[in-house]
């Protein structure tokens, strides 16, 4: 079910997933989410970057590059991706979702995030997203004190993931769990780089089996058709990469898994 307003959210959820973009919950955590739903748990996905920019622009060269890859105009880009998300959510029966209405980095702060290098690096300290998410996450925690919250570990160093990670830690401390950002975690160098950045922290991993739900996860990922080439190289490549990753992090006795981390 789609939650229309923040006021509708109350302390009725067991698990809450923070998704910086329209696809992160399903791509990174879809197997665990499906398993939790099958076990009768209440699960909510909160997607942050769901607001549409002014279609008149102006847009940075990077934004224009992404629009070209997605084969969508600026006016179509967000609406098309929201439609994909609706389809993906429908393939996760029982999963509630709320769109938080924030702008993606390429639209929110184009003067800072206008190249791939700037988009995948340390966030600009002037980015208004820091204060905004701090307030939002504090509100969500107050509304849903009984829920376990999950957010991005920050593998791949996308600024939207890193800001969400930082503000979740600030608000929740050690009570939040961090999922391995996919597809970035599939690349060994990106994963190792992020773990090196966190080397001074007390890190505790927990892998969950998704043998029974991997197929459902992959079916839901297929809904994000505009993103499959950019993220994986195509639909068939996505299926193989997701399955290979799941096999690499499977807990003992399972064939496939997903992994989350506790910090502190």
Instruction: Identify the H or E element spanning 111.
Output: none
pTM score? 0.96
Two structure tokens written together for 76? 């179509």
Residue 140: predicted pLDDT = 98
Residue 76: predicted pLDDT = 85
Residue 55: predicted pLDDT = 85
Write out residues in the chain with pLDDT < 70, as ranges: none
- Second CATH level (architecture) for the domain 2-263: 3-Layer(aba) Sandwich (3.40)
Residue 186: predicted pLDDT = 96
Residue 77: predicted pLDDT = 83
Residue 148: predicted pLDDT = 98
Residue 4: predicted pLDDT = 95
- Give the helix, strand, coil percentages of the chain, each rounded to 5: 50, 15, 35
- Strand ranges of the sheet holding 15-19, from the earlier edge strand across to the other edge: 2-3, 96-102, 43-49, 15-19, 148-152, 177-179, 257-263, 203-209
Residue 74: predicted pLDDT = 75
């Amino acid at each position: 079910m789609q939650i229309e307003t923040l006021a509708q959210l109350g302390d009725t959820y067991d698990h809450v997933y923070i998704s910086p973009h329209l696809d992160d919950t399903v791509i990174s955590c879809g197997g665990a989410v499906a398993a939790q739903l099958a076990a009768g748990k209440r699960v909510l996905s909160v997607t942050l970057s769901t607001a549409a920019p002014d279609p008149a622009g102006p847009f940075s060269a990077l934004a224009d590059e992404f629009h070209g890859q997605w084969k969508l105009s600026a006016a179509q880009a967000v609406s098309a991706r929201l439609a994909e998300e609706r389809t993906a959510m429908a393939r996760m029966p029982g999963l509630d979702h709320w769109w938080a209405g924030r702008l993606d980095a390429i639209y929110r702060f184009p003067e800072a995030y206008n190249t791939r290098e700037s988009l995948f690096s340390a966030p600009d300290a002037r980015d208004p997203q820091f204060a905004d998410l701090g307030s939002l996450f504090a509100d969500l925690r107050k509304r849903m004190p009984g829920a376990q919250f999950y957010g991005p570990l920050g593998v791949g160093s996308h600024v939207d993931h890193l800001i969400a990670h930082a503000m979740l830690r600030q608000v929740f401390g050690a009570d939040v769990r961090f999922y391995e950002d996919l597809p970035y975690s599939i690349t060994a160098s990106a994963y190792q780089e992020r773990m090196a950045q966190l080397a001074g922290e007390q890190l505790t991993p927990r892998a969950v089996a998704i043998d029974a739900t991997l197929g459902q996860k992959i079916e839901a990922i297929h809904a994000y058709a505009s993103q499959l080439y950019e993220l994986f190289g195509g639909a068939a490549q996505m299926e193989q990469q997701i399955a290979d990753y799941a096999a690499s992090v499977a807990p003992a006795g399972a064939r496939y898994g997903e992994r989350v981390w506790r910090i502190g």
